[in-house]
A and B are shown apart, each in its own frame.
Chain A
Amino acid sequence: MQSKTVIKRLSELPTMPCTIDTMAWNQTGDWRYLTPLVENKPAPCHSNCPAGIPIPDYLSAVKRGNLQEGLALLLSHNPLPGLTGRLCYHPCQTKCCRKKIDGAISIQEIERFMAGLATEIKNRRTRPSDERVAVIGSGPVGLSCAFYLGCLGFQVTVLDARDRAGGALADLPSKKVEAQVLEAEIKRVVHIADINIETSASFDLSKPREMLSKADLVILDPTGLMEETGMPVGAVSFNPFVDEEICGDIIAVTLSGNLKPFKAPMIAHYIAAGRLTAEKAFAYLVRRSDKEGLKKRRPHLSRLAAKVDDILMGHFSTSGLAADAKSGQEGTWDHDRALQEAGRCLSCGTCNLCLQCVLSCPDASIRLDSDKNAVEVDLYHCKGCGICAYECPRGVITMEEINA
């Protein structure tokens, strides 16, 4: 209940009867039966990305010229953008809402450009840990898993029996992935996550005890092992897309369906497998060592996702760049072209602070909070008319039945 100045005595009445205060005390929020919920939702591209990359978020950073910020966001779900930028079947582009205006965004081209950036990014080892993890095999699953475990603070060693790292990736023709690109990607992984890779490594999968003397957890990468060896002694099969928990110290990551055998276009799926394995491994190690207070960092996917119908196409105008968006050029785009293309991203489901909601509210009850850099609904006054939800060009706002 907001306070209001009240006239109590005749002498307080102005002679010319004019007002003395605002109507802010009037709780018009009582009128509503639907409440606007302002919540960023994964865009169709994001929802469709097998690796769960927050595409509109990193494109938003890129279009503003904050390339390192964009790269960090990209790496948060994909440590091998140079590979996905060349191999992936880009289901993100298939779902891009921009195609309803003037053509899908060339996300893959941008990703390839991002991979080529020099970077100062380094993992801040906020939670160093003594636990050691051995990853056997340096294919995309292994590399991805090792990267995330390293970022989570563990001592990670990747062992590959071959003389080159990369696992199945190393076997790809150079037309698909040049050797130096693969090398550069692996180098970045090592540098940022602070892990070790041992090539020409020797290990004996039939001697589990020996393996466990050198590591607290052993993870077998199916995309990095030389041949099908069958389930090694003491290993437990683990499918990161299916299994809830890790329950063994030696786990063999097992993939099924169209991920077996290795198919290069499915690269994003393998990366996701690595990341999910790392998260489960982290949970396992925390449980095992009883270490409390280490929060898992998971991307928060709200129960709603933005759909193409949520996007107000009329809000956006066409750009002349659409015609050039088709990939087919050799090589990687340059800085200006990449930024231009990122600028075409509509940021579906992500609030861009365009402030259409703020300007369209008949009650001035959704406002920009400059400190939080976000729009906020004034629940005390909002009447629930729904204009903000309708007018949001990106489908960020939905009207919900929320009982106060």
Chain B
Amino acid sequence: MKKVVMGNEAAALAAKLARVQVVSAYPITPQTIIVETLADIISRGELKAKYMPVESEHSAMSSCMGASMVGARAFTATSSQGLAYMHEMLHYTAGARVPIVMANCNRALTPPWNLYCDHTDSLSQRDTGWIQYYCADVQDVLDSILIAYAVAERVMLPVMINLDAFYLTHTSELLVVPEQEVVDAFLPPYKPSNKLDVDDPRTFGNVCGADLFTSIKYKRYCDGLLVESLWDQAAVKFHGHFNRSRPAVEAYRTEDADVCIISIGTATGAVRLAVDRLREEGMKAGSVRLAMVKPFPVEGFDRATASAKHIIVIDRDVSYGAEGIIAQEVKAGLFDRHKDMTFTGFISGVGGNDITPETIVPLVQQAISGQGEAVKAGKTFWTEVLP
């Protein structure tokens, strides 16, 4: 079936198709449509699930964790301030090894108050241990949520599926809605062996000495290193059922690219148009979209940037005192090869400014030519700022 829906509705439909059993969320713009749609679906009996209209995001994540720990498939959604409010529980759920999937609508963090697209909210949570995926379009929202459950329940780590505020959450596109039976074949019910069980009583989360604590964290760390390949495996299986590709890294015209433009989220669409224009003008440009950002998808990234000499990163976020967060991640990923490359980072589209090919093309040209405002600015160039 095909429908024209907004990204938020696609997220709600994905949760329904995934047969989530507990939904616990607190409303926040621009996520509200996800929770309203789900409340509606559940109250009409189209999804057998418990809907918990909790009183805060901290409680939303707490109650999802409680539900997941007794073996129920749990789902929640939030954005910016709400994500920050549940920060403590993000660490907790990842440490608890529960396979929660959360849709996060990337929105700027206050002050001042801004409801529009910005990636700082989720990227500043990168150290919590959650797997992070950034959607490119409405279909990607639905697909990635389904794959997310498959991966989460395999590796026992939670997954954050990110949607750009308004560009994705409130933009309608054509969505292919899969049949429930096909989804069921791809994603069987959640039946964990590790759960709270009165017949096998254990205590979870009590005080731990340094000795075992280190090993527990190390074990989680090691499991995290498997995520990229687990995602790609799940994506292959997904492809088999639905005939769509959802790899951890998407490369466009990078086979012979000298210049790779790295982006995440919906800006990638503009980046590809820019790549086409730059190619027309003779630059061997390519677009690398990091679909998965955490853990950093080393293999896919290395493959995509194999021939690159110039790396350009567009960040819709910043790590104060340093630079764009994607820039940092990419630099870390390139460390072994960086001597042969140049690197330029741009901070653009923060707080809802549009990123267009008109923005990107000149930036890239300046970065490559070594001349212009972008270069004079030094390490990280912020677009759209007051002079």
Choice from A13, A18, A20 contacting B219 with Cβ under 8 Å: A13
Q: Is the CB of A17 within 8 A of B156?
A: no
Tell me whether A1 is interfacial, beta carbon within 8 Å.
no
Q: Given that A7-B212, A10-B218 are contacting pairs, would A15 and B194 also be in contact in the complex, using a CB cutoff of 8 Å?
A: yes
Interface residues in A19-59 (C-beta closer than 8 Å to B): 19-20
- Specify the chain B residue showing the minimal Cβ separation from A7: B212
Q: Give CA–CA (A19, B196) in the complex, Å.
A: 11
Tell me the dominant secondary structure on chain A's binding face.
loop
- Specify the chain B residue showing the minimal Cβ separation from A20: B202
Q: Is the CB of A15 within 8 A of B97?
A: yes
Residues 185-213 of B, flagged 1 when their CB comes within 8 A of A and 0 if not, give 00000000011000000111110100010
Chain B positions within 8 Å of A16 at CB level: 69, 96-98, 156, 194-195, 204
Chain B positions within 8 Å of A10 at CB level: 215, 218-219, 222
Chain B positions within 8 Å of A14 at CB level: 194
- Specify the chain A residue showing the minimal Cβ separation from B223: A15
Q: Give CA–CA (A15, B192) in the complex, Å.
A: 11
Chain B positions within 8 Å of A19 at CB level: 202-204, 206
* Contact-residue bracket for chain A: 10 to 19
Choice from A13, A15, A18 contacting B203 with Cβ under 8 Å: A18
Interface residues in B93-121 (C-beta closer than 8 Å to A): 95-98
Tell me whether B226 is interfacial, beta carbon within 8 Å.
no
Q: Is the CB of A17 within 8 A of B218?
A: no
Q: Give CA–CA (A14, B212) in the complex, Å.
A: 11
Q: Give CA–CA (A13, B96) in the complex, Å.
A: 13
CB distance from A164 to the nearest CB of B (A): 76
Tell me whether B225 is interfacial, beta carbon within 8 Å.
no
Q: Is the CB of A15 within 8 A of B215?
A: no
CB distance from A253 to the nearest CB of B (A): 69
Chain B positions within 8 Å of A17 at CB level: 95, 97, 204-205, 208, 216
Q: Give CA–CA (A14, B215) in the complex, Å.
A: 11
Q: Is the CB of B156 within 8 A of A15?
A: yes
Chain A positions within 8 Å of B215 at CB level: 7, 10, 13
Chain A positions within 8 Å of B194 at CB level: 14-16, 18
Q: Give CA–CA (A15, B216) in the complex, Å.
A: 8
Chain A positions within 8 Å of B218 at CB level: 10
Chain B positions within 8 Å of A20 at CB level: 202
Q: Give CA–CA (A117, B22) in the complex, Å.
A: 73
Q: Give CA–CA (A13, B194) in the complex, Å.
A: 12
Chain A positions within 8 Å of B96 at CB level: 16
CB distance from B204 to the nearest CB of A (A): 4
- Specify the chain A residue showing the minimal Cβ separation from B155: A15
Q: Is the CB of A13 within 8 A of B216?
A: yes
Chain A positions within 8 Å of B69 at CB level: 16
Q: Give CA–CA (A215, B195) in the complex, Å.
A: 84
Chain A positions within 8 Å of B206 at CB level: 19
Most buried by A among B156, B203, B222: B203
Could you list which residues of chain B lie within 8 angstroms of chain A, going by C-beta atoms?
Answer: 69, 95-98, 156, 194-195, 202-206, 208, 212, 215-216, 218-219, 222-223
Could you list which residues of chain A lie within 8 angstroms of chain B, going by C-beta atoms?
Answer: 7, 10, 13-20
22 contacts between A and B (CB under 8 A): A10-B215, A13-B212, A13-B215, A14-B194, A15-B97, A15-B194, A15-B223, A16-B69, A16-B96, A16-B97, A16-B195, A17-B95, A17-B205, A17-B208, A17-B216, A18-B202, A18-B203, A18-B204, A19-B202, A19-B203, A19-B204, A19-B206
